[in-house]
Each structure stands twice: as structure tokens, then as C-alpha cells.
Structure 1
């Protein structure tokens, strides 16, 4: 029996809707409905009663809900007990690319120094993908953007970095006003389907700038390289020294405004409250507190 199906069943009951549970789990409604049918088949009874677009547990479903919560807690406790005697194993970490290119290497260096026998497997992806993988127990923790929705009580969040938007410009143009550069220079745009790219797009709209778009790219480091080649300017979250290290470009701060977009984004760590690797995750967070803020 897939324990992830039980977790998803609990989510359906909490939401009272398969479609809403699917949205929060970043799965399709059809996938959730299929999982519920499989679970009912394995249990040998109906678990959910449909009421229009909503669902509720019947007697059997309510009993599964109550026992299922305890089962998942016991499963996590079992995993923790198995690895508790020896500080060895695998920490499955998800990360957005900007963190991987920015402050994550320093965190990993500190963590592996104190936990040399713990292997860290890193999976990169977008925040929604990493959040879904975390819920499906495919990851132990995810370094990502702060979700825009309220998190369930089973998921914990710890903010690590605030990354304001900055204008990347060639060193020869660094004396000019960043808003003037956005108005007059070609823009190497950060891809709008990404969180930071959408934030940059919203900011441009908020200040009334229609940029001269030259490229649209999903990598902030690639944007930095093109800016260095004189292909235009960039508007990206400030991920730290990696943007400008070894390059003849500058990261220009935007003037203080009341704009939500200009204030940037928050990056942090997500993990399950009942994670079997809570101890490692807490120590990984401690490594973050020892890592200097990007400048």
C-alpha cells in the first residue's frame, strides 16, 4: 500500500474537495481520484461520499482518517529510530537553481564538515515541483521560494534569505540611474514563468516601464554573462556574489519604494514536521545561520 495515498486521502478529507487537494498537492484531479479508487480497492470498502463537487468521509473513511494520521507519525518515528544510532545515511534535498548558484554551496560545505558520513542528494526544480515532491516524501527538505498559500500544519517553513530585485549593468554604466537603464537599454529578461521573473515583470509594470526586450532566459547566471558581453541589462533577484564575481558588471540597488515587487522575494527551507531527518534538517539550518548574507 502506498503511504503517499494515505497522506493524500488525509489531504482530501481536510480540504473537503478532490480538486482543491489536487491543487495543493500539485497533482491533477484525475490523479487524486484514481489514487482514492485504488485506496478504496485495497481497503475493500467505500471511504468517501460525493456531495456535488465536495466529498466527505463516511464511517470507514473517518476511521481511516484517524488511524492514518497516527500511522504516518509512527512511520516517520520508525525511520528516525532506524537511523538514530549512527550519523550516516542520505539527506534528500531539493533546491531552486538560484540557491544552488548562490548561498547553498557554503551551507553544504559547513554541513558536510560536521556530518562527513551523511550523503546529500540534490534535486533541482521549480518551487511548486519541489513542494509536491516534499509532500510525496520524495524529498526530506526543499530550499525554495516561500509559497504564496498557507501551508498545512504538517509542513514547516524557515526563511533564510531576502533577495531584493537588482539591475545588472556593465561596469561602464554603473554610474547611471538603474531605472534609466531599464528604460533606455535592451533588457535580458528573466523568464516570466519563474517566481523571480514574474516579480521582475510585475515591477516593470508597476513603475510604467515597457522594456526593449532582447532575450528571455531562465538562468540568472546566463543573464549576468550576457550583460557582461554588452547585450543589455538585467533585472533579477540578488542571489549574492555569484552574480558579479569575476565579471565586469555591477548589481545596482533600486531606490526604496513602497512597491511589493521591488522588495523582492524570500527564500527558505520547507520540510515535514514529522520528518525522520528532523535532526539533520535543524543542523542544516544552523549551517545557514553561519553563512554570510549575500552582498
Structure 2
């Protein structure tokens, strides 16, 4: 088994195509196909379901994928161990794209000021995108929302926050001490497609027979917040977000919380991850909502 075969296999599972995988790895398609076939023969199992439109993984391929990620992570860790100290002063951080919030921004700013010799490489994306980057060892550490099902020795909870209603200070609901989702019936509303509790919100809207008027569907929190600030629509967002002219109102029938924290792999760079998580643990008490 060769590292290049593992890289080729992971490229195919990521792209779903031998052609795209070959382009990604800068090899010819026949060379890539031959290498993966030799890998399957060595393992004694077919890893890929070869279909005209898209290549998918067999059950054996699904099991091998996790092993492949771990093998590459170990190889990358071994390379890092042999680098000089100067090159090790880097940390690749993946930040959930819905966490452009004051607590997270303050944490990153304070870490940068405290450790100016550490070069931070930031990657943003959805929860699924970041999980894949972590599995492929493209990032060392994630700042994301935790489900509670992660391994405790590779997680660090930082703080919890509620999801609340964001409206402009001149919005009809702005003076309310609290609202129900039914109060949003037929009112302009921004649907945040990357919201962690999107499905739960839809369920409550249906149970309350409330149908807000969806004026915008977006994956960008900045755009949703802009709609609120211009009094064009309301939105449901994490309560730690702040903006001028915006009022945040508790939602009575939508008391969901998200736990924000750090997540890393057991094979991640131990020096950089420990340095950041130790710092974050000391700061988390001040970040509590």
C-alpha cells in the first residue's frame, strides 16, 4: 500500500469522478485508475461503485475512508515533527461561518495579540465542510457548534447561547419583551440556510401554523443582518451577535441553545492545538453569555 494510492482514493471519493480526481492530483486518469485497482486487489475488497455519472463508495470503501484519513493525518504529523521550530509556529483554524460573533472574534484577536509569533490560517465554512477539512488534515482545529456527541478528549466547550429574534428597532415587534414564532406569521423574514437549528425552526413554524413571508434565503449571516438593519425583514440568529439599530427578542417557543467550542482530531498537531485550547480555556469564562 502506497500513500499516493490512498491520496488517489480520497480524491475520487471527494470528487465522485475518476476524471476530476486525476485533474486534482495532476496525473493521468489511467494511472489513477490503475493505482486504485491495485489498492483494491491488495486489500481484497472493492472500494468504489463505478457508475457512469458518479463514483460512490462501497461499504468496504466507507470503512477504509476513515482509516485513510487517519493514515494521512499520521503522515502529515510525522512531517511536522521533522520541520524546524519556525515552521511549526503555524495553526490552521476552521471557523464555522455562522460564528462571526463578538466572543469568537475576541478570542482570535486576543490569541493573536498574546502569541504574535504564531501564524493563524483561517478557513470558514459550513459544519459539514469543516468536518471534512478536519478529517483530511487540512485544518488543525475547529471552532464550531458542538452536538454533545463528540469525544470529550478532543473537544473544549467555550460557551452557550440562545437563538433569538433579530428585528430593527422600528419593527412592529421591537417593543415586545418576548415573542412566539406565530407572531411572525406573514411578516418579512430572512431564512438563514446554514442555521444550525433550521430544521427545528421549520418544525415549530409548522406546528404553530405560522408562515412568515420569506423575502430572502441566504447562506451569508452578514447579508441576513443587513436585511434586519435596513428594516426589510426579521431573522433568527445567535444572541451574541451585535449590530446597530437591532433589537434582540427572546422566543418563547424556541428555546434552543447552541454550544460553541473547539474540536480537533486525536492526531492533530499537539503543540499548536494545546497552545490554543489552553488559551481558550482561560478566556471562556469571560465569553459566557
Report if the CA contact (8 A) 1:107-1:284 is conserved: no
Describe the superposition over 1:252-274 as per-residue Cα deviations: whole angstroms up to 9, x where unpaired: 1122x5xxx63133332221112
Change (3 A) 1:215 1:90: same
Report the Cα distance in structure 2 between the residues aligned to 1:91 and 1:162, rounded to whole angstroms: 25
Counterpart in the other structure of 1:170: 168
Q: 268, 274, 277: which is aligned to 1:282? A: 274
Calculate the aligned-residue CA RMSD, in Å. Answer: 4.1
3-state SS of paired residue (2:99): helix
Q: CA deviation at 1:156?
A: 2.6
How do residues 89-108 of structure 1 correspond to structure 2 at under 5 angstroms?
89-108=89-108
Map of 1:267 onto structure 2:
260
Q: How far, CA to CA, are the matches of 1:70 and 1:76 in structure 2?
A: 10
How many Å separate the matches in 2 of 1:248 and 1:4? 56
Residue 261 of structure 2 aligns to a residue whose secondary structure is: strand
1:74 and 1:252, CA in 2 relative to 1: closer, same or farther beyond 3 A? same
Secondary structure at the residue paired with 1:100? coil
Tell me what 1:47 maps to: 43
Q: Deviations over 1:230-279 (max 9, x none)?
A: 223212232x1x433xx122111122x5xxx6313333222111212x22
Give the direction of change, closer, same or farther, for the CA distance of 1:180–1:268 in structure 2 (3 Å limit). Answer: closer
CA contact (8 A) 1:167 1:235 kept: yes
* Separation in 1, partners of 2:160, 2:213: 28
Query: SS of the residue aligned with 1:99?
Result: coil
Q: Does 1:243 align with 2:242?
A: yes
> 1: distance between equivalents of 2:5 and 2:144?
22
TM-score normalised by L of structure 2: 0.70
Structure 2 residue ranges without an equivalent (≥5): 22-28, 50-57
Q: Which residue of 2 aligns with 1:254?
A: 251
Give a deviation string over 1:47-75, Cα, whole Å, max 9, x none.
Answer: 1325995439xxxx9xxx7xx97885475
Q: Which residue of 1 aligns with 2:202?
A: 201
Matches within 5 A, 1:207-222: 207-222=208-223
Give the equivalent residue in structure 2 for 1:38. Answer: 35
Equivalent-residue separation in structure 2 for 1:81 and 1:178 (angstroms): 57
Query: In structure 2, what is the Cα distance between the partners aligned to 1:155 and 1:174?
Result: 43
Q: Say how many residue pairs are matched.
A: 258
User: 1:218 offset after TM fit, Å?
Assistant: 2.3
Is the contact made by 1:196 and 1:236 (CA closer than 8 Å) also made in structure 2?
no
TM-score in terms of structure 1 length: 0.69
Secondary structure class of the residue paired with 1:221? helix
SS at match of 1:284: helix
